[in-house]
Amino acid sequence: MIDTKKLAKEFNNLGEGAIVLIETAASKILEVHLAAVKWLSDKKYTQIILSTSRPCKNLLNLYQKNNIDTNKIVMVCSVCQEKEKKEQKNSKVIHLQSSSSLTEIAISLSKCMESMKDKKFVFIDSINTLLIHNEPNTLAKFIHSILTKMRTNNVSGLLISLEAETDKEVRAEIAQLCDKIMCDKIVKV
């Protein structure tokens, strides 16, 4: 179990537009994900969630089971590669062809950031799954580009990665772009 109260407290201390990297154990990553989305939902943030680990349908079911309001959630899903027109028309889910298509992901995230007027939060889950599909340097370039856009648009952000599993160089590059790095219980920086 993760200390959700502590996590919420840490989130409460974040300023508008802050970007956070959470490093967690593989066994706790879903729990951290749900706790973060729950907190953001309670705070009435419009969440743009990049789902590269689980299919969007699965995540949306989990949100509902955990009493998370999904009305203000937009999923950018690169997992299920859904091609059905019905799904494409659903404005709450944007299906992408692959977790390798970083340019397409960047375009979709940018569109979401620019089109939504409410206070927004971009949630990237996870760095490690993106690393399965992309070269470390390419991914670092992508993260840099996205975080720059987030800062330009004053959008807050949350990135999840596995503790001690992430490529050291990429981890260092991404960490220096974030305002805060958290582990399950301890704030590292």
Partner 1 sequence: MNFSMKKILPKKRMGTTLKTAPRQKRLAIKTKISPKQKKQRPPFQKRVSFAKSSKDTKKAQKAEEFVKTGIVGFDALLDQGIPLGTSVLVAGGTGTGKTIFCLQTLFNAAKKGEKCLYLSFEESEQRLKKHLDDFKWDWRDLEKKGLLKIVRKEPFSMTASIEAMLAKAKGELLIDINEVLEIIPKGFQPDLIAVDSITAIASAFGKKEDGYRIFIEQLFRYFETLTITSFLISETEQMPTIYSSSGIEEFLADGVIVFYAIKQGNIRENALEVLKLRGAKHQKKIVAMQITDMGIKVYPEQEVFGKIGE
Residues that bind partner 1 (CB under 8 A): 97-104, 106-107, 110, 133-134, 138, 141-142, 145
CB nearer to partner 1: pick between 26 and 107: 107
Q: Compute how many other C-beta atoms are within 10 angstroms of the C-beta atom of residue 26.
A: 11
- Amino acid identity, position 154: N
User: What are φ and ψ of residue 48, in 5° steps?
Assistant: -110, 105
In 3-state terms, what secondary structure has residue 15? coil
The least CB distance from residue 185 to partner 1, in Å, is 34
CB nearer to partner 1: pick between 137 and 176: 137
The least CB distance from residue 145 to partner 1, in Å, is 6
The least CB distance from residue 173 to partner 1, in Å, is 14
- Using CA atoms, how far apart are residues 96 and 118, in angstroms rounded to an integer? 24
The least CB distance from residue 139 to partner 1, in Å, is 8
Q: In what side-by-side order are the strands of the sheet with 180-182? A: 93-95, 73-77, 46-51, 120-125, 156-162, 19-24, 180-182
CB nearer to partner 1: pick between 66 and 103: 103
